[in-house]
Structures are given as C-alpha cells and as structure tokens.
Amino acid sequence: MTRQTITPLEVGKYTASLILAYKIAHYFGLTIEKVFDFSEMEGQIMDTFKKKVRTRISVLTLLGNLLFMVIVFFSL
C-alpha cells in the first residue's frame, strides 16, 4: 500500500473497500471497527433507509387509493 492510498483514507476523501479494510485491520491485529469510524456512515445508512421506507409507504398508499377507486368504479 502506498502513501497515495493512505492519505485519502486518513482525510476521508476515499472509502476503503471491504477487502482493503480487512487487510489493514488484519495487519494491525485489530477488527475493522477498531480501525475505521463508522459513526457518520451509520447516520447515512439510516437516512437512506428512512427515505426508502417513506417511498415504499407512498407507493403502497398510492396503490391502495388506486385499488379503492377501481372498486368504487366497478361497484357503480
């Protein structure tokens, strides 16, 4: 691994692949969680999850409304 790889990792301009993260942690005899700080990433993951849940709820609401309209239409 070169210094050109390490510097972007240190300043947060590059995210290590899982394999690279494992190799770095293994080299120092540590777990990946001890070497890398995932606190910011956890927030991003939760934000993404919440957006997807809201989108799915919106789609389900839309489908429910559409189904209701079809039922009403055919019952007339």
Q: 49 falls in which pLDDT band (50, 70, 90)?
A: confident
Distance CA 53, CA 13 (A): 29
Distance CA 39, CA 43 (A): 7
Q: 42 falls in which pLDDT band (50, 70, 90)?
A: low
SS3 76: coil
For the segment 7-20, what is each residue's pLDDT rounded down to a tens digit? 777 777 777 678 88
Q: Which two tokens stand for residue 13?
A: 């301009």
- Residue ranges covered by each domain of the chain: 1-36, 37-76
Is the pTM higher than 0.95? no
